[in-house]
């Protein structure tokens, strides 16, 4: 539980310290979900013979499924609205992909 709390604390510090929104999204999803899972494992070990451990598994499953998707959607919205700092993006594969998908006006 202490390692999970330390990871959650590190995620909180990263939210305050990182310079742009995409970096903050990274720190709010990866260490936060791992910290929560470790805390849930600690609680599960503490409550082991009780049937409430199943609820902890449902919480973990829900978090594993929703947190990465929410982070991805928030990152896409950030990028598409122009709020991402381009000078901090080393490889911009999404720009190439969006340029390929754009309709060509010379065809009509």
Does the pLDDT value for residue 23 go beyond 50?
yes
Q: What is the dihedral of CA 61, 64, 66, 69, to 10 degrees?
A: -150
Q: How far apart are CA 11 and CA 32, in angstroms?
A: 6
Q: What is the pLDDT of residue 39?
A: 95
**pLDDT band, residue 108 (cuts 50/70/90):** very low
Structure tokens at 108: 């009509």
Does the pLDDT value for residue 61 go beyond 90?
yes
Of the candidates 13, 4, 78, the one whose C-alpha atom is nearest the C-alpha of residue 35 is 4
Q: What is the pLDDT of residue 42?
A: 93
């Amino acid at each position: 539980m202490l390692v999970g709390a330390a990871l959650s604390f590190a995620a909180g510090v990263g939210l305050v310290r990182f310079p742009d929104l995409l970096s903050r999204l990274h720190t709010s999803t990866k260490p936060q979900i791992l910290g929560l899972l470790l805390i849930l494992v600690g609680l599960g070990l503490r409550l082991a013979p009780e049937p409430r451990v199943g609820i902890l598994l449902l919480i973990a499953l829900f978090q594993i499924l929703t947190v990465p998707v929410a982070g991805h959607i928030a990152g896409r919205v950030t990028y598409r609205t122009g709020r991402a700092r381009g000078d901090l993006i080393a490889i911009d594969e999404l720009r190439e992909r969006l340029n390929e998908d754009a309709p060509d006006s010379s065809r009509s």
